[in-house]
Structures are given as structure tokens and as C-alpha cells.
Amino acid sequence: MLVVRTAWRIFRWLLRRGNRRWSLLIIILLGMGLFATVGRWWLRDSPTQADLGRWLRDPSSRDSLETHLTAPCPNAPFLLPSQGFVGFLYNDHTPPYTPVNPHPGVDIFGNGEVGTVPVYAAYDGYLTRLPSWKSAVIIRIPHDPLDESRQIWTYYTHMASLDGAASFISAEFPAGTSEKFVKQGTLLGYQGLYTGNASRIAMHVHVSVVLSDADGSFRNESIFENTLDPSPYFGLTLNAANAVTLPVRCR
Ligand SMILES: [Zn+2]
């Protein structure tokens, strides 16, 4: 109560004529403090930035940075769908993402030529590839293994060449495929470079866990709120907001 009363007194004093200069100074100082706080939050370092830089620049670092799993982690339902550096994590705020819409999935950077590093289905489900999709597939999982009451989806993208002319998706799943049942571990395609716009990326596969709409269709996977933290599904710490140790290992 005393704090509020004191603050109120200071505020009234500042409002009086003659104290305008002090008011201005305090407002500027408060503004600078707010700017610094928001700026620090906004520009928070990516927990994987340094190691991703090493992975990309120095191929001799790759053995020590790679996560290679041939089966799901103990007590986790999903198989990590590709091998490489699990290097741009879920909920990372850094560019090109923002605190308002952080990275909605996990990127796995493979060690190999473009179009040669395999991508497998994380879990059993029904695969759809829309007619316009050059590099992506989405798999419907009718019962979320962590919450049987709901349906979820797993989404995989960047499986095409830079210009989109060559798709690296398995020939079993041509554009227009709908609801084709696949088992966990089915080969979906290979890591690539396609983003759908002019932006250049290092070769990887982007994987995300996507929520269903009330009508059973998948939500827009590029919006963070429409996705789930993949960590418990894979048994790995994949949320950039948590204490991350690299390379990621079964927990
Ligand atoms: Zn991504």
C-alpha cells in the first residue's frame, strides 16, 4: 500500500508545472529500460546457433554433433524421422522467426548430398500429399499416442530441389496422394532445399506435430499455436525454451 501511495505522490509531483523536465527524463529512462528488456528477449540467442554453424562450416565436426536413432527413445512413441544435427529447435525465436511466431517444428540437418539423406515416418498414420505440394507430406494420426482423445498430424517438408523441379518424395506418394496408410519407419523421401519462396536454406527436413481442426482437417502448420511441442513425442528435449544439451539424446 505504501509503495502505491508513494508512487502516486511522485506521479502527482511530476505532473506539476515546473517538473516537466524531470518527467521527460524519467519517461525516457523508462522507455530505454523497456526497449532493452524487450530487445534482449527478442534477440535471445538460439541455443543451437553455435553448433549449427560448426555443423555447416566444418564437416569434421559432424560425427560429434549427429543424432542417429534407429528406434524410438524409451517411453516415447515417435521415431526421429531422419539423422543429422537436430539443430533448429521448436519454439526458437531467432530470425527468420520471431517471438510472436517462433519456429513451429524441428529441423534435422543431414550429413550428405542433397536428395540422399532419408526421411522416415515418425509414427503409423494416413499420408496425404496435396496436389500442389512439391516437397511436403502430412500424416494423420487418428489417436494421439499421448492423448488418445484427439487426432494429430505429423508434417515433413523441404523434400525437393532448390527450384522445386525435382521432388525427393518417395515415388509411392505422388502429388495428390490421399489417406494412404504408412507404418512407422516407412521411407517418405529425402532431405532437400525447397522452401516455396526464394529463401535459401541449408539442406534439412522440417518436422512438426500439428493439431487437427474440429472438422478433422489439419491446421495451418506454419502458425506456432497450431503445433505441439514435439519433445514428449520423441523423448528428446526439442523446445528451445528449455535447457537444451547438444547433440540431443534420449532422455
Ligand atoms: Zn523448420
DSSP of 105-140 = SEEEE-SSSTT-SEEE-SSSEEEE--TT-SS-EEEE
Distance 105 CA to ligand 1 centre (A): 5
8 Å CB contact between 118 and 187: yes
List the one residue out of 128, 134, 141, 217 whose CA is nearest residue 179: 128
Distance 209 CA to ligand 1 centre (A): 12
In tens, the pLDDT along 137-190 reads 999 999 999 999 999 999 999 999 999 999 999 999 999 999 999 999 999 999
Residue type (1 letter), 27: I
* pLDDT score recorded for residue 28: 77
* pLDDT score recorded for residue 40: 59
Distance 222 CA to ligand 1 centre (A): 9
Mean pLDDT value across the chain: 92
8 Å CB contact between 66 and 85: yes
Task: Average the pLDDT over each of 25-39, 52-66, 88-102, 185-199 and give the range with the smallest value.
Answer: 25-39
* pLDDT score recorded for residue 44: 61
Contacts of 64 by beta carbon, 8 Å cutoff, 6+ apart? 247
* pLDDT score recorded for residue 169: 98
Distance 176 CA to ligand 1 centre (A): 23
Distance 89 CA to ligand 1 centre (A): 8
Encode 173-210: b = buried (16+ Cβ within 10 Å), e = exposed. Answer: beeebeeeebebbbebbbbbbbbeeeeebbbbbbbbbb
Cell of 10: 511522485
* pLDDT score recorded for residue 47: 94
Distance 4 CA to ligand 1 centre (A): 47
Distance 52 CA to ligand 1 centre (A): 13
Cell of 218: 489439419
Task: Average the pLDDT over each of 35-39, 84-88, 222-226 and give the range with the smallest value.
Answer: 35-39
In tens, the pLDDT along 226-251 reads 999 999 999 999 999 999 999 999 98
Distance CA 40, CA 148 (A): 39
Percent of the chain surpassing pLDDT 70: 93
Distance 103 CA to ligand 1 centre (A): 6
Cell of 39: 530487445
Q: Compute φ and ψ for 156, nearest 5 degrees.
A: -135, 130
In tens, the pLDDT along 46-76 reads 999 999 999 999 999 999 999 999 999 999 9
Distance 165 CA to ligand 1 centre (A): 21
CA separation (Å) from 72 to 80, 84, 99, 156, 250?
A: 7, 15, 30, 17, 9
Read off the pTM.
0.84
Distance 107 CA to ligand 1 centre (A): 5
Name which residue leads in pLDDT, 24 or 163.
163
Whether 95 has a pLDDT exceeding 70, the answer reads yes
- β-bridge pairing 187-190 and 118-120: antiparallel
Distance 155 CA to ligand 1 centre (A): 11
